[in-house]
Amino acid sequence: MNNENKVTLYFVRHGETQYNVERRMQGFCDSPLTEKGISQAKSLGEGLSDIHFTASYSSDSQRVLDTAKYAIGEKNIPLMIDKRLKEMNFGVLESLLESEIPNLYGNVLETLFSLDVNACAPEGESYAQLFTRTQSAIKEIIEKHASEGGNILIFSHGVTIGNYMIQITNSKEFAVHENCSVSVVSYKNGQPKVEKIADTSFRDRGSVQLNKSSLIN
């Protein structure tokens, strides 16, 4: 009989970055968090402060690592880096403005965001390949924590998280994952249960709490 304890993963998209503002394709390439992005990460940490987390994991992209550090703050939550949690590789589209891509590569964005699991940018990564590496990381994380159970933070990226949610729910619709939104999936005995997708309430509640605190102080 399998008696694993429940492991609940809180998937967090990173805070707003400079490339997000400029509307550039940002997968393996990187850009720093904006002041708004830093504020979002701090607000998220405050909004999650009443939940006990036993561990956290992050993509190796600096924007995600910074989000994790601002969100965790002074809390004693071990942070481990796993490059398999990285964003989708957009190949030749990396760092290009979305507005300039049609002139360079035609309708590649329409194809890329068609939800075809084999779709990919030229020299990039397909959704199937992305899911394979994401799933391998998550499977190891669940197995590592199954004996004790508990809540785990996973800091990652919008397409990476969104693609994972689509694959495990067999959904036909890609939810918009705002910066520092949270998707929650619990696992027990290998069975996932999706509890939240792209939820911004933790970030927004934390922002209100921090604003109140600053007024008092």
* Residue 87 falls in the annotated catalytic set: yes
DSSP, res 17: B
Residue 24's identity, in one-letter code, is R
Q: H/E/C letters for each residue in 89-122? A: CCHHHCCCEHHHHHHHHCCHHHHHCCCCCCCCCC
Distances (CA, A) of 75 to 7, 70, 78: 20, 10, 9
User: First vs last Cα of the chain: how many Å apart?
Assistant: 54
* Residue 195 falls in the annotated catalytic set: no
| Residue closest to 20 by CA, chosen among 58, 62, 63, 60 | 63
Return the residue matching tokens 């997708």: 197
Number of C-beta neighbours around residue 25 at 10 A: 22
Set 16, 46, 87, 125: catalytic member: 87
What is the set of active-site residues? Answer: 14, 87
